[in-house]
Amino acid sequence: MNHGYADIPESRLPVIAAAVRTPFLNSGGAYADLPNHELGAIPLRAVLARAGIEAREVESVALGCVVQDVETTNVTREAMLAAGYPSTIPAGTVSMAGVSPEACIAGLCDQIALGRLDIAVGGGTENFSDLPIRLSRNVRKRAVKLALARSGMERLRILAGLRPSDMVPVLPSGRDLTTGQTMGEACEAMVRRFGIRRADADAYAVRSHRRAAEAWDRDWFGDDVVPVDAPGGRVEQDDAVRGDTDEAKLARLKPVFDKDDGIITAGNASGLTDGAAALLLTSAGTARERGLRARAVVRDYEMTGVTDMRTEMLMGPAIAIPRVLARHGLSHDDIGVYEIHEAFAAQILANQAGLASDDYAAGYGLGRAPGGIPLDKLNVHGGSLALGNPFAATGGRLLATAVRRLEETGERYGMIATCAGGGLGAAMLLENRAATT
């Protein structure tokens, strides 16, 4: 039976020794002229400096990335080299929608537990300011034929098949290929299924922004965030936080995805965001031998998918969290820190409803539902609605925040969880190293 890393030697437990991220910025801002691999290189350099580790000591690097550039299909390799890591270190990129960073970190943790790695770096990088915009399929097909043409006459025949409309740029649709839904449309289906109210979604969004603004006012995130001297100027903190928002302001906004009956607006949804994050992972034994600060143990993780992608696309946390809790005989009472990704306020509320529903739990063979997460444990310093959501970096931000909260509160256990396009989800269980020694 799977009990996470419970049955491996203590010296092989994967631990988080350091975690950093860039400020998260609205797309089109200061990172607009910064290639994604250079953005990813920033936390890759900074995380080594925080831990006092030389790049040559790292044995593997893995970053998540959702939107790939054809020129840097293995963006991790380019980011690692740009950060000054030796070319002898293997590096790979994981693309698993919004759970990409959790997937690559989980893979590195498994290798550490198996004894294949002692020191690794994982995280993610995402720059929506530089989207891979294509021309029409007709242009792409004829461009390939043109490159293979052997005569001028053949080239003219190929070009004659083009129309002016073919030259209009084709933007990524953001739609799920299987369902044809955008994530917002999918979340509206969850709203209808779980009976989420607009007023509650707006109230949750206000909470996220105000908590994040308060945290930044106290420089609570400061140690986790590395300033960036970007082409668009120096940035030191997230720029999507709106501490002055209130429910009255949000109530005036019109629904975006279901204009007649929907509840999701620009005010209670996360926006397109650029950013990168990196974590230094080691075995517990290596951390002890090297005098590194083993901040938290990664005890377990769960990757999952939903059954009905049309009505529960973003319900992954409501499935993954109970599975991890059950494997370790834990309840919400035992988890002092929850950091859950906020794609939409309605998505958080729908997952809370799913966590509280015995019927929903039964549909996944989860037994009795664990209940909704207590709000005094959930995203107490704001979440993705306010801080931003660069898909492949958000998981790194969740982990960094959870680790810092565990250290601050002295709580023993923390949990992060993420929903993702394609009906995917992930959860990771952390244990405060200081609380076990």
Q: Where are the domains of the chain?
A: 183-220+299-436
Pairwise CA distance, residues 323 & 321, whole Å: 5
Average pLDDT for 202-231: 96
For residue 1, pLDDT beyond 70: no
pLDDT score, position 265 = 98
- Residue 437: band (very low, low, confident or very high) from pLDDT cuts 50, 70, 90: low
- The pLDDT assigned to 235 comes to 96
pLDDT in tens, 338-393: 999 999 999 999 999 999 999 999 999 998 999 999 999 999 999 999 999 999 99
The answer to whether 159 and 59 have CB atoms below 8 angstroms apart is: no
Half-sphere exposure at residue 313, Cβ-oriented, CA atoms within 13 angstroms: 27
* Cα separation, 329 vs 82, whole angstroms: 44
Rounded to whole angstroms, what are the CA distances from 431 to 2, 9, 301, 321?
Answer: 17, 16, 12, 15
Average pLDDT over residues 97-115: 97
- The pTM for the full model equals 0.94
Predicted confidence band at 212 (pLDDT cuts at 50, 70, 90)? Answer: very high
In the prediction, which pLDDT does 166 show? Answer: 74
Alpha carbons 149 and 162: distance in angstroms, whole number: 16
| pLDDT at residue 238 is higher than 80 | yes
Q: What's the mean pLDDT in 236-264?
A: 96
CA atoms of 106 and 168, how far apart (whole Å): 41
Instruction: Indicate the range of 136-145, 316-325, 424-433 predicted with least confidence.
Output: 136-145
For the domain spanning 183-220+299-436, the CATH number is 3.40.47.10
Encode pLDDT of 199-211 as tens digits. Answer: 999 999 999 999 9
Whether 436 shows a pLDDT value over 70: the answer reads: no
Q: Quick check: 171 pLDDT over 80? A: no
* Rounded mean pLDDT, 253-280: 96
Summarize the confidence of residues 285-296 as an average pLDDT: 96
Q: What is the mean pLDDT of residues 209-217?
A: 98
Q: Which residue has the higher pLDDT, 233 or 409?
A: 409
If you average pLDDT over residues 218-223, what whole number do you get? 92
Arithmetic mean of pLDDT, 64-86? 94
Among residues of the chain, what percentage have pLDDT more than 90? 83
Instruction: For residues 22 and 225, give the distance between their C-alpha atoms in angstroms, rounded to a whole number.
Output: 5
Burial tier of 371 (Cβ tally within 10 Å: 0-12, 13-18, 19+): middle
Neighbour tally for 90: CB within 10 Å: 13
Q: How many helices (H) and strands (E) does the chain have?
A: 14, 12
Q: Is the pLDDT of residue 133 over 70?
A: no
